[in-house]
């Protein structure tokens, strides 16, 4: 294999691995900017992952699956919002409860799916690579494998990143979102409904997490296994912090992490790699995330009101 092909494979794999992280991360970024830390994002992704697979398996239409993923994640996100925003429970423990609900709910529903024999997607019903539908684009040097020989979700993620960056810089909504996470008192005083904004941000984040989950089960693979997300949601939380709560930082973080993930898979397939247990390779991306966070230190604090309930008493 020539070095060029190897690098191509590495980069293509990196973008493919970064895509769900970016989609879920952009949602979580918006929520955290509004002051809401949702540990339950792992569970929301799992719910989306399952719902997309189940509905696609049942109907043969992946678009319906995508819609189901968004709805399922938003419903669970709604539970989180009721508990943590409306009832003002601690956001972290509320998020853990959401994770528990998602693990149990998807596990139970998976059994039902198995009983009905819906354990595979109907042939050809999952999404395919090359979202433009023009194979020639995928063969372009560099941008071909990176942008065009990917699933549509990759393009969507980049567009969403651009839109969010614009909203942040150019619109009142962006300012309000920021303010609600920074100084909810001031925003409330100027007539903004703090809870309403936070509810909206949480539901948006849930929808994004649902899409990211759908990517795992109907695009990157065409399969579902219980606990499929396996900690991806937690990595998303780490990446949002690593990116200093900025869209650009998040994109860079996701790509770096995607690269680590892709390299990890590449390393595993090297002939000499058998000496090292494959689990240690799998642990590598999480260690990379931890080390990156540790090195990044505490130089930039997050949104001042992150994790705090509103109203405070």
The three-state secondary structure class of 151 is: coil
Q: Is 119 in the site for other proteins (CB under 8 A)?
A: no
Q: Is 186 in the site for other proteins (CB under 8 A)?
A: no
| Closer of 42 and 149 to other proteins (Cβ) | 42
Q: Is 235 in the site for other proteins (CB under 8 A)?
A: yes
| Closer of 163 and 225 to other proteins (Cβ) | 225
**Cα angle vertex 309, ends 304, 313, to 5°?**
115
Binding mask 49-88 for other proteins (x = CB under 8 A): ------------------------------x--xxx--xx
Q: Are 262 and 10 in contact (CB under 8 A)?
A: yes
Q: Are 107 and 101 in contact (CB under 8 A)?
A: no
Q: How far apart are CA 173 and CA 260, in angstroms?
A: 35
| Closer of 144 and 309 to other proteins (Cβ) | 309
Stretch that binds other proteins, among 50-58, 132-140, 145-153, 229-237 (CB under 8 A): 229-237
Q: How far apart are CA 10 and CA 260, in angstroms?
A: 10
Stretch that binds other proteins, among 12-20, 44-52, 116-124, 223-231 (CB under 8 A): 223-231
Q: How far apart are CA 97 and CA 100, in angstroms?
A: 5
DSSP summary character for residue 147: I
Q: Is 129 in the site for other proteins (CB under 8 A)?
A: no
Long-range contacts of 284-289 (CB under 8 A, 24+ apart): 284/260, 285/235, 285/257, 285/260, 285/261, 286/231, 286/235, 288/256, 288/257, 288/260, 289/235, 289/238, 289/239, 289/242, 289/257
Stretch that binds other proteins, among 14-22, 51-59, 101-109, 167-175 (CB under 8 A): 101-109
Q: Is 277 in the site for other proteins (CB under 8 A)?
A: yes
Q: Six-digit token pair at 49? A: 């992952």
Q: Is 93 in the site for other proteins (CB under 8 A)?
A: yes
Q: Is 282 in the site for other proteins (CB under 8 A)?
A: yes
Q: Six-digit token pair at 31? A: 């929520």
Q: Is 283 in the site for other proteins (CB under 8 A)?
A: yes
| Torsion sign across C-alpha atoms 55, 49, 27, 196 | positive
Q: Is 298 in the site for other proteins (CB under 8 A)?
A: yes
Q: How far apart are CA 20 and CA 153, in angstroms?
A: 8
Q: Is 111 in the site for other proteins (CB under 8 A)?
A: yes
- Interacting residues with other proteins (CB under 8 A): 37, 39, 79, 82-84, 87-94, 96-112, 115, 227, 230-231, 234-235, 237-238, 241, 277-280, 282-283, 286-287, 289-290, 293-298, 307-309, 312
């Amino acid at each position: 294999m020539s070095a060029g092909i190897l690098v191509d494979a590495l980069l293509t794999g990196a973008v493919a691995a970064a895509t769900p992280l970016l989609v879920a991360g952009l949602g979580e970024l918006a929520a955290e900017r509004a002051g809401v830390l949702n540990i339950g994002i792992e569970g929301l992704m799992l719910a989306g992952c399952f719902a997309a697979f189940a509905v696609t398996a049942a109907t043969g239409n992946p678009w319906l699956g995508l819609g189901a993923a968004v709805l399922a994640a938003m419903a669970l996100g709604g539970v989180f919002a009721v508990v943590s925003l409306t009832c003002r429970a601690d956001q972290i423990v509320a998020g853990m409860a959401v994770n528990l609900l998602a693990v149990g709910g998807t596990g139970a529903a998976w059994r039902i799916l198995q009983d009905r024999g819906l354990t595979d997607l109907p042939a050809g019903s999952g999404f395919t690579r090359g979202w433009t539908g023009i194979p020639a684009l995928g063969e372009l040097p560099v941008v071909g494998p990176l942008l065009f020989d990917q699933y549509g979700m990759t393009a969507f993620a980049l567009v969403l990143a651009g839109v969010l960056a614009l909203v942040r810089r150019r619109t009142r909504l962006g300012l309000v979102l920021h303010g609600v996470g920074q100084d909810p008192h001031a925003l409330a005083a100027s007539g903004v409904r703090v809870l309403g904004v936070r509810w909206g941000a949480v539901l948006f984040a849930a929808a994004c997490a649902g899409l990211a989950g759908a990517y795992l089960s109907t695009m990157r693979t065409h399969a579902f296994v219980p606990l499929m997300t396996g900690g991806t949601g937690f990595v998303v939380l780490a990446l949002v912090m690593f990116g200093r709560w900025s869209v650009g930082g998040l994109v860079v973080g996701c790509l770096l992490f995607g690269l680590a993930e892709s390299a990890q898979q590449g390393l595993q397939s090297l002939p000499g790699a058998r000496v090292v247990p494959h689990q240690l390779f799998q642990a590598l991306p999480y260690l990379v995330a931890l080390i990156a966070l540790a090195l990044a230190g505490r130089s930039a604090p997050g949104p001042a009101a992150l994790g705090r309930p509103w109203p405070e008493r």
